[in-house]
Amino acid sequence: MDVDATFLAQAQAAKTASRKLAGLSTSVKNRALDAIADALIARQDKVLAANALDVERARDAGLADAPLNRLRLTPEKIAGIAADVRTVARLPDPVGEVLDGWRLPNGLQVSRRRVPLGVLAAIFESRPNVTIDIASLCLKSGNACVLRGGSEAIKSNTVLAKIAREAETEAGVPEGALQFVEQTDRALVSQMLTLSEYIDLVVPRGGAELIRFVAENARMPVLTGGVGVCHTYVDAAADLDKALAIAFNAKTRNWSICNALDTLLVHSSVAEAFLPRIAGRWAEAGVELRGDERAMAALDGSSDKAVPAGADDFGQEFLGPVAAVRVVDSLDEALEHIARYGTGHSDAIVTEDFSAARRFTDEVDTAVVYVNASTQFTDGAQFGLGAEIIDSTQKTISRGPTGLREITTYKWIVQGNGQVRP
């Protein structure tokens, strides 16, 4: 496949910069990150002006509410992005960490040292904050990056990347370390996936179609995630006040993100006491409850925002003001439901029974498991990582919120004193 000359040059420049980045001092990296955060605040008017054009165009094109919410920036969001960059600057530098080591009988000293991956490419949609999140994490971990955002956020991303690139270069980061692809031609995605000579890892952040396409066509390793069908199970031994607060927050705090509650499972022994309460709270927030037959019976017409669930409602990532509800008779039934319909993203149990909590955490096969807490916490910044590359649903490379250490690898260091192998 022929590769666009400009894009090929960007990938080559990133590869060249990555060799210099690998040995960059922590002090220079931290100074560059602080400079990026300062520049974001100082130049936020330019960012907001560009973002307003993106939002207007996307709205006119009929972009759905969920991606439109992810696209829109505000002064508060920019301040939050800058704060996350500063958090990354304060985190320990993973590069150079000695993982373990030992001395062999022949006197050789063998150790493993953490090193950058090299060049990370990211393909993402609707989320201009991802430009800065990935750029900052790659910088701190010594990786170069090639970023390709969606056409709906091209003006926002172009300005953000320019701000970050200028700030970090002035602070001493090698030129070429941050590459942003300004062309919006979708053919470039296919071209990117062939460049294994220059790109060491590719991360798709977007809908299921994008993730599937990248996973099936990339010639380099792929880190996938982001699609989340998230469950909260209210156990027989749940504190129902806690359950009410958790289920309400998990659904309504932000329903357009991948860690929002999609399905509520409720034990039959507490269904009649609990379901009218959560249905009422959700209805006040504009959430439509789609219940199975037993959930509808427990509600007994008490909510005008409750309707019978359809065949496809369980296993659906709604990304909107809709939640599926099912009544179950046991923890086993809840676990079986999650195993069938879940995507391995984030699942929670609400219970005061230690044994039930232990079984849930041991047996549910998901990246992030919660006991008595909202799934909305699945986020790199919330976990103390500063930001995240992706919320991975894989079991290799990384799982869950992916931060600095997960985008490094290691090399073996063997030190000798003239030893030769007999």
Q: How far apart are CA 109 and CA 124, in angstroms?
A: 43
Question: Counting Cβ atoms within 10 Å, is residue 103 exposed (0-12), middle (13-18) or buried (19+)?
Answer: exposed
CATH class of 5-223+402-415: alpha beta
Q: How confident is the model at residue 279 (pLDDT cuts 50, 70, 90)?
A: very high
Summarize the confidence of residues 219-246 as an average pLDDT. 95
Q: Which two tokens stand for residue 130?
A: 């991802």
Residue 250 predicted with pLDDT over 90: yes
Summarize the confidence of residues 121-126 as an average pLDDT. 89
Q: For the segment 10-61, what is each residue's pLDDT rounded down to a tens digit?
A: 999 999 999 999 999 999 999 999 999 999 999 999 999 999 999 999 999 9
324 alpha-carbon distance from chain centroid: 23
**Domain(s) of CATH 3.40.309.10: residues in the chain:** 230-377
Cα dihedral sign for 101, 104, 106, 112? negative
Q: For the segment 175-230, what is each residue's pLDDT rounded down to a tens digit?
A: 999 999 998 888 899 999 999 999 999 999 888 888 999 999 999 999 988 689 99
**Within a 13 Å sphere around the CA of 412, how many CA atoms are in the beta-carbon half?**
6
Mean pLDDT, the chain, integer? 95
415 alpha-carbon distance from chain centroid: 39
Looking at residue 116, its pLDDT comes to 98
Looking at residue 107, its pLDDT comes to 97
Q: How confident is the model at residue 127 (pLDDT cuts 50, 70, 90)?
A: confident
Summarize the confidence of residues 59-75 as an average pLDDT. 88
Q: How far apart are CA 397 and CA 223, in angstroms?
A: 7
Collapsing DSSP to helix, strand or coil, 99 comes out as strand
Looking at residue 264, its pLDDT comes to 98
Q: Under a CB-based contact definition with an 8 Å cutoff, are residues 305 and 287 in contact?
A: yes
Block residue for tokens 């701190």: 140
Looking at residue 185, its pLDDT comes to 86
Can you name the CATH fold of 230-377?
A: Aldehyde Dehydrogenase; Chain A, domain 2 (3.40.309)
Residue 126 predicted with pLDDT over 80: no
Q: For the segment 138-181, what is each residue's pLDDT rounded down to a tens digit?
A: 999 999 999 999 899 999 999 999 999 999 999 999 999 999 99
Q: How confident is the model at residue 66 (pLDDT cuts 50, 70, 90)?
A: confident
Looking at residue 234, its pLDDT comes to 98
Looking at residue 184, its pLDDT comes to 85
Looking at residue 70, its pLDDT comes to 83
Looking at residue 98, its pLDDT comes to 97
Looking at residue 1, its pLDDT comes to 75
Cα dihedral sign for 55, 57, 60, 61? negative
Alpha-helix residue ranges (DSSP H) falling in 233-382: 240-252, 268-284, 293-299, 331-341, 354-363
- Could you give the C-alpha distances from 50 to 72, 78, 166, 349, 400, in angstroms and in order? 11, 13, 18, 42, 32
**Neighbour tally for 78: CB within 10 Å:** 21
Residue 238 predicted with pLDDT over 90: yes
**Neighbour tally for 123: CB within 10 Å:** 24
**Domain(s) of CATH 3.40.605.10: residues in the chain:** 5-223+402-415
